[in-house]
Every structure is written in C-alpha cells, then in structure tokens.
Copies of this chain bind each other. A is one copy, B any other.
Amino acid sequence: MNKYLVFGHQNPDTDTIASAIVMSDYLTQLGHESEPVALGTPNDETQFMLNYFKLNAPRVVETVANETDRVALVDHNESQQSVADLKDVRVDYVVDHHKIGDFETAHPMYLRIEPVGCTATILYKMFNEKDLTISKEIAGAMVSAIISDTLLFKSPTCTQEDIDAAQALAKLADIDLEAYGLDFLRAGTNVASRSDSDILNADAKIFEMGPKTVRIGQVNVIGFDEILARKKDLVNLLEKERQDNNLVVSILVVTDILENDSIGFVVGDGAEGVQKAFDQSVVDNQFDLPGVVSRKTQIVPQLTEVFSQE
C-alpha cells in the first residue's frame, strides 16, 4: 500500500495545517506510513506556530493521485474545498468539525465529525482513546489550532471540550495559554504586509447555497482602520475575482479579534440575502456584523437558509 497523504482544505488556516501534521502523527503511531501535505502555504499566524514549535511546513501539493491511492482528510469534507483529484483516491479517514457537504464513498471508512470548535480537539480525543504519545510539538500544534479556531475561546463555536483540551495541551506544550495565545493571534492580524489578493484569498472557502455558489473569505485584524483604508481596492478585486470564477456572490468578512466584531464586504447578487440573513443593510458594498466572529455558525447557516429559499 502507498503511504497516506493527510491534508486539510484549500487556503489553509492553522487548524488545517496543524491537524494535517497531527493526524499524520496519529497514523504513523498506528503503524502506517504517512505524510502531512497542504493545498497552500501557511499564513502568518500558522507560520508563528510552526516557528515556535520548530515544526516543518507541510509540503504543498496540487494533486495527490500521482503519489498515492489513499488519503486522510482533516478539517474539511466537501470536495470543492479539497484537492482537485480527490475522486481518484480512496478516502480512508475524515476528521472534521464542519457541516457535511455532498460526501459519498464506495467503502466504509473512518469518518468522525463532531460539533466542536476545532478539528484538533477531536484529534486530541482520538490520541487519548488509543493511548498514543502526544509530543510537545504535536501538543503545540493542537493547542494553536484550538486558539485559532475559537479566537482564544471567545467564538460561539467554542465548546467545553475545546477548553478542556486546550488546557491539557498547553501543559504538554509548555506554554501559557493567554500569553502565547495573544502573540500567536496577533501574528495573524498584520494586514499591512499582505497584498489585497492574499487578504481576499488566504482563508476563502466556497459554499454551494441552494442555487448560488458563494465564496466567503475571512481575515482577522486588530481595528478596522487599515482595512477600511484599502476598501476600494479590496472590493474591486473581490468583484473581479467573483467574475473570473463565475461566483454568484463573494464576501470578505473582516473580524476584530479583540473587539469580537466583524464587518463584511459583499459583491455580486448578495445584498438582499445579506439583508435577510443578518438584518443589516448593505451600503456601498459594506455591512456590519456586530458580535459576529464565526463564519461557520454565525454566517454560513444564515446565508445558506436565505439562498436555499430563492
């Protein structure tokens, strides 16, 4: 049998990169040959974690079937968020915390999806259930993923299981949760050094919502000023990329990780849907999302419901 390639979603975030590294370690400890790979390069936040814990960035791949016949997916399950040639390999494992997309297999496999804040929280349980060793580096990757996905436990997606896992992992990783967590999150908010294209694409995901293909990106900031100063360029590029990719709607969510508020930029046929979903008017392509930090629970279900009724 070929080795497992383990990877998360396109436009990788910390949970996707960390969970690929962690799941690969899990499979290795179970006696399989395995390598973590990624569908893109790490963002600034993720790179902070990799540097801190002296972990290598996973090798970037475009396709997998040229290398192996079996894979493990982490932090995603929808094929449009995955590798281009997913249909040409056998998916033996899925560990995820998102809604189930259009997923189908010909064989029974290991699929574990739980409504927790972070994929790494599920992986932490899987390590414990099999009494596997959690090294300092692996613990560091897991706790960073939890901090990232839950915004240091402030996201509504955060569960008690995430908190319990993070506290136990912080000890194994030898870090102070609050101090490391803020440094790590801040590393992901430096938009000044990033191009417009990178801000739009770094954490963008595509969703099928009823008849509409909708892209939603998200970027973390501390204060909205820098982003608002670049709004015109960002909205123009958002619209250009929407047309280039035949998307009906494209949205960028900008989240202030200290204030726990967001604003959104929207292009395409989405203003009415945004109005219905969030009770917020779209003015000049922009709308408020007060108290919203989680794309997964505070944005995607609400828009899906509105667009599915169209």
> Which chain A residues have a beta carbon within 8 Å of chain B's beta carbons?
97-115, 125, 129, 296-297, 301, 304-305, 308
Contact = CB atoms under 8 A, between A and B. Distances in A.
9 contacts: A99-B107, A100-B105, A101-B104, A102-B104, A106-B301, A109-B115, A110-B113, A111-B114, A125-B129
Given A125-B129, A129-B125, A129-B129, A113 B108 contact: yes
Contacts of A305: 106
Contact of A108 (B98, B104, B108, B110): B98
Contacts of A296: 108
Nearest first, the 9 closest Cβ-Cβ pairs linking A and B are: A111-B113, A108-B115, A100-B105, A99-B105, A110-B114, A112-B112, A99-B108, A100-B103, A106-B304
A129 to B, nearest CB: 6
A158 to B, nearest CB: 13
A103 B103 contact: yes
Given A100-B105, A102-B102, A106-B304, 11 more contacts: A98-B108, A99-B104, A99-B106, A100-B111, A101-B104, A106-B305, A109-B115, A111-B111, A111-B113, A112-B112, A112-B113
A84 to B, nearest CB: 20
What copy number does this chain have within its complex?
2
A99 B109 CA distance: 7
A114 to B, nearest CB: 5
A266 to B, nearest CB: 21
A120 to B, nearest CB: 15
B106 A113 contact: no
Contacts of A103: 100, 103-104
Contacts of A105: 99-100
Contacts of A110: 113-115
B304 A108 contact: no
A111 B112 contact: yes
A172 to B, nearest CB: 20
Nearest to A111: B113
A113 B107 contact: no
A108 B97 contact: yes
A230 to B, nearest CB: 32
A99 B111 CA distance: 10
Nearest to A98: B108
Contacts of A104: 99-103
A109 B96 CA distance: 10
The residue in A99, A100, A103, A297 that gathers the most chain B C-beta atoms within 10 A of its C-beta is A100
A144 to B, nearest CB: 21
B107 A301 contact: yes
A301 to B, nearest CB: 6
A12 to B, nearest CB: 19
A296 B112 CA distance: 20
A171 to B, nearest CB: 21
